[in-house]
Structure 1
Amino acid sequence: MNFIQTRGHDKNRPQYVTFSQAILSPIASFGGLYVPENLPELGKEFLNKHLNSSYKELASDMLSRFEIDIDESVIKEALDLYDNFDDVSNPVPVKKVKENLYISELYHGPTRAFKDMALQPFGVVLSSIAQKRNENYLILAATSGDTGPAALETFKNRANVQVACLYPDGGTSDVQRLQMVTEDAPNLKVIGINGVFDDAQNALKRLLASDDFRAELKTKNISLSAANSVNFGRIIFQIIYHIHSYLELVRQGATVMGEKVYLNVPSGNFGNALGGYYAWKMGVPVEKIIISSNENNVLTKLIKTGKYDLRDLHVVGTTSPAMDILKSSNVERILYDMFGLERTRELMEDLETKNFYELTQDELVRLQNSFDADFCNGEEGKKYIKDTFYNDGYLMDPHTATCMKSYETCSSPEIKTIAYSTAEWTKFSPVIANALTGELDAHDIEALESISKVAKLDIPDMVKGLFDKEVVQNTIIEKEDIEKEILKFL
């Protein structure tokens, strides 16, 4: 399958690239992104075929439909990493919480967040390509809290790969920070910046598009790629769990094959929602995709009004920090799919130069035919955490809690909803402890123990052990010094 470019072809890059080329160099012409030329059609036959398949069997078949240029042995090695999740037979449990609400738990991997679903196999694939080509790669990762730990985990000690991971100092939970700063593999560099996630992501995109930076890397015999969801290598693995979650509802007798469902996604950079959109286009029966935001609710405003307006906006720190994002990269892929490359390029250039774009009324109607949205503030989220735990016996993290409000405001009660839980309770314990017990200003370890006692849940060893590990990554810099710091690491 060929991959094409969301903003058109600048004649400096190939017009069409393979999957491996797209993931090795994820930024396309004019600063755009790569997308499949066509999405494979799956349909009822594919869904029925996999009604009793394992997650890995489903994943393997779906990847084969994309005809990606990756050896089957590499794909098998990559998918075998799902065997290291909590339940070998089902790495993504789907649990009923309310009458028509089911939660797909995406956090049962090594870093306890949904990014493991894509980044665990992605690390194997990218490293294998680099070795096959006898090339060395610098992988850039910008994180609001979950991409960083997952990228570091998957790439540590892998051949032909070095990773520079950027995170906003003070903008993650303690557990997320410890997962990064205690990593001691020699091919990893963790860099805290005095800024917010958008500063880290903007730096990543600038470096990926910089001819001067690439030339500097070339003198060191290093090529450049990225682990963020600008890379389609992330997105392709995120499509799979949306298909799996729908099949789980059918297996559980919650729905019948062909009946439509809502997909309710807590959204920051929009990669998770994009995976659901592609799954829908490929054949999963979906009524609508519901986007759940926090106080940084640019996506809600876009879907409600057609305006993407960053003028005079600044990132607000919230109780759901992995969603503290204003520039959601993967919206561009939705714009391309709906409105074509010329309009996408026009809109993205307006966003980059004016911090604003506005859809036409016809475009807004088309967007709203696929998406609805609402946002949930921190106090509302904590109430949902408390009420859902005490009333329904289900403990969720603050990001998942944002879905509860949009479930009430955006979905019809007669249609089943699949909401996506993107992180385990252990990663945001002070917020959850405050929601359940009212305690304030607890450190993560105190909050973890408090929740463990109240909820009668064990703290996973992989989380508990973080507090005894040595901090080896101490770098905190100004955002203007990112390039210099990365080159020093190399």
Structure 2
Amino acid sequence: MYFIETRGNDGKKPKKVTFSEAILNPSASYGGLYVPEKLPNIDEKFLQRHLTSHYKELAFDLLRLFSIDIDEELIKEALNLYDKFDDPANPIPVVKVEENLFIAELYHGPTRAFKDMALQPFGYILSSLAKARGENYLILAATSGDTGPATLETFKNRENVKVACIYPAGGTSDVQRLQMVTEDGENLKVIGIEGDFDDAQSALKSLLASEKFHAILQEKGIKLSAANSVNFGRIIFQIIYHIHSYLELVRRKEITFGDTINLIVPSGNFGNALGGYYAKKMGLPIKKILIASNANNVLTELINEGRYDLRNKHLIKTSSPAMDILKSSNVERVLFDKFGAQRTKELMDSLNDKGYYKLNEDELAALQEDFAADFSNDDEVKAIIKEYALEKTYLMDPHTATTIKLFKRYAADKNVAYSTAEWTKFAPTVLEALEGGEKKSDLEALQIISEKLGVAIPQRIAELFHKRIVHTTVVPKEKIEEEILKFL
């Protein structure tokens, strides 16, 4: 399978690239992204075959459907990293919370967030390719809180790879920050910036596209790649768990083959939702993909009204910080799939130049064939956390809580909502939702909730508060490149 570019080709880059080239060099022409030239099909025979299979078998077969140019033994080795999850046989429990609501828990990996599902195998494959080619790579990661820890974890002490991780200082939870700043791998650099996630992501995209930066790295014998979901190596692994969720409902006889379900996805950068969209395009019986946002509701406006408007908008810091994003990268891949490269370039150029674009009526109708959207503010999120913890004995983090408003709108359908992070990463917000009062520290909140509700604190979270802080750098966003070059 080959990969093509969302904004067309500039005559400098190849018109098509292999999967390995797309993940090693993810920056496409005109600042665009790589997408599959054609998606494979998932039929009922494929689903039947995996009704009783292990998650790793499902993942392996799906990757084979994509005909990626990665050795099968390397793929199997990468998928064995799911053995690090709480239950290697079932890394994603799907929990029935109430009638027609099933929550797929994506956070049972090493860093307790959904990014592990893609980054554990992706990191192994990328570093193995670099080593096999005798090439050295700088991996850039911009994070709103979860990509950073998962990226550092997967690449820690791997050969032929260095990682520079950029996060908004003060824009993550304490647990997320500690997961990054206590990482002691010699090949890792964590940089806090005086800005928000959009600033971090813009810096990443700018460096990926910068000929000057590439030239400096070339002099040092270093190539450049990225761990964010701009890299299709992330997305391909995010398709798999949507198929797994569907199969789980069939196994439990909640649905039969051919019945449709909704996916409810808390969305920031849209990679998780894009994985669901591709699964639907490939043949998985999905009725709608329901996009849940927080007060930074640009995606709600896009899907409901057809406008992406950043003019006079400022990022709002919310209780669900991993979704505090205004520029949602993976929407571009949906635009390309719906409207082609020329129109995608027009829309993205307008967003970059004017901070705005608007779909026409036909384009909006095409988008709404697959998506619906809503958002929840912080008060609504806290009310949901309290309701579900105390009345339904299900403890969720603030990102997961944004999905419930959409479930209540579509409660007549079977719905799988995605829990993207464990409650432990946002304990002060969860405790505030349960008891009110002044916000406690992360450690104090973790201990109170654990005792109050009888839930365990994973060892990897508890030990963070006793680890040595290794990374203390915080700089203005204009100094990011300088800090990275110092590190190299």
Q: If the TM-score is normalised by the length of the shorter chain, which range does it land in? A: over 0.9
CA RMSD across the alignment:
0.6
CA deviation digits over 1:386-423, x for unaligned, max 9? 001111110000000000012123x2x33100000000
CA deviation digits over 1:285-321, x for unaligned, max 9? 0110000000000000000100000001111000000
Query: Letter of the aligned partner of 1:220 in structure 2?
Result: K
Shift of 1:217: 0.3
Matches within 5 A, 1:370-389: 370-389=370-389
The match for 1:437 is: 435
Matches within 5 A, 1:218-229: 218-229=218-229
CA deviation digits over 1:181-202, x for unaligned, max 9? 0001110000000000000000
Partner Cα distance (1:458, 1:395) in 2:
12
Partner Cα distance (1:246, 1:393) in 2:
24
Query: Letter of the aligned partner of 2:365 in structure 1?
Result: V
The match for 2:101 is: 101
CA deviation digits over 1:148-178, x for unaligned, max 9? 0000000000010000000000000000000
Partner Cα distance (1:26, 1:439) in 2:
46
The match for 2:196 is: 196
Matches within 5 A, 1:108-257: 108-257=108-257
The match for 1:268 is: 268
Partner Cα distance (2:452, 2:247) in 1:
33
Question: Does the 8 Å contact 1:433/1:439 carry over to 2?
Answer: no
Partner Cα distance (1:201, 1:9) in 2:
23
CA deviation digits over 1:73-108, x for unaligned, max 9? 110111000011001210000000110000000000
Partner Cα distance (1:253, 1:447) in 2:
39
User: Structure 2 unaligned runs (5+)?
Assistant: none
Partner Cα distance (1:290, 1:331) in 2:
14
Partner Cα distance (2:358, 2:444) in 1:
46
Structure 1 length-normalised TM: 0.99
Partner Cα distance (2:253, 2:433) in 1:
33
The match for 1:288 is: 288
Shift of 1:282: 0.9
Shift of 1:23: 0.3
Query: Letter of the aligned partner of 1:468 in structure 2?
Result: H
Question: Does the 8 Å contact 1:316/1:324 carry over to 2?
Answer: yes
Question: Does the 8 Å contact 2:429/2:439 carry over to 1?
Answer: no
Shift of 1:63: 0.2
CA deviation digits over 1:318-356, x for unaligned, max 9? 000000000000000000000011000000000000000
Query: Letter of the aligned partner of 2:480 in structure 1?
Result: I
Query: Letter of the aligned partner of 2:390 in structure 1?
Result: Y
Partner Cα distance (1:133, 1:13) in 2:
20
The match for 2:466 is: 468
Query: Letter of the aligned partner of 1:484 in structure 2?
Result: E
The match for 2:447 is: 449
Shift of 1:72: 1.1
The answer as to 2:457 corresponding to 1:459 is yes
Shift of 1:439: 3.5
The answer as to 2:31 corresponding to 1:35 is no
Partner Cα distance (2:229, 2:211) in 1:
21
Query: Letter of the aligned partner of 1:464 in structure 2?
Result: A
CA deviation digits over 1:405-445, x for unaligned, max 9? 12123x2x331000000000100000000111224220000
Partner Cα distance (1:157, 1:439) in 2:
43
The match for 2:302 is: 302
Partner Cα distance (1:338, 1:120) in 2:
30
Partner Cα distance (2:5, 2:31) in 1:
9
Partner Cα distance (1:367, 1:302) in 2:
9
Which of residues 419, 422, 439 in structure 1 aligns to 2:420?
422
The match for 2:482 is: 484
Matched position secondary structure for 1:362: helix
State the percentage of identical aligned residues.
Answer: 65
Which one is further off, 246-255 or 321-330?
246-255
Question: Does the 8 Å contact 1:303/1:373 carry over to 2?
Answer: yes
Query: Letter of the aligned partner of 1:123 in structure 2?
Result: G
Partner Cα distance (1:364, 1:81) in 2:
40
Query: Letter of the aligned partner of 2:70 in structure 1?
Result: I
Shift of 1:69: 0.6
Query: Letter of the aligned partner of 1:480 in structure 2?
Result: E
Matched position secondary structure for 2:403: helix
Matched position secondary structure for 1:471: coil
The match for 1:16 is: 16
Query: Any runs of at least 4 consecutive aligned residues in structure 1 with deviations exceeding 4 A, and if so which?
Result: none
Question: Does the 8 Å contact 1:100/1:416 carry over to 2?
Answer: yes
User: Structure 1 unaligned runs (5+)?
Assistant: none
Which one is further off, 18-27 or 434-443?
434-443
Question: Does the 8 Å contact 2:9/2:29 carry over to 1?
Answer: yes
Query: Letter of the aligned partner of 2:371 in structure 1?
Result: F
State the number of aligned residues.
488
Query: Letter of the aligned partner of 1:469 in structure 2?
Result: K
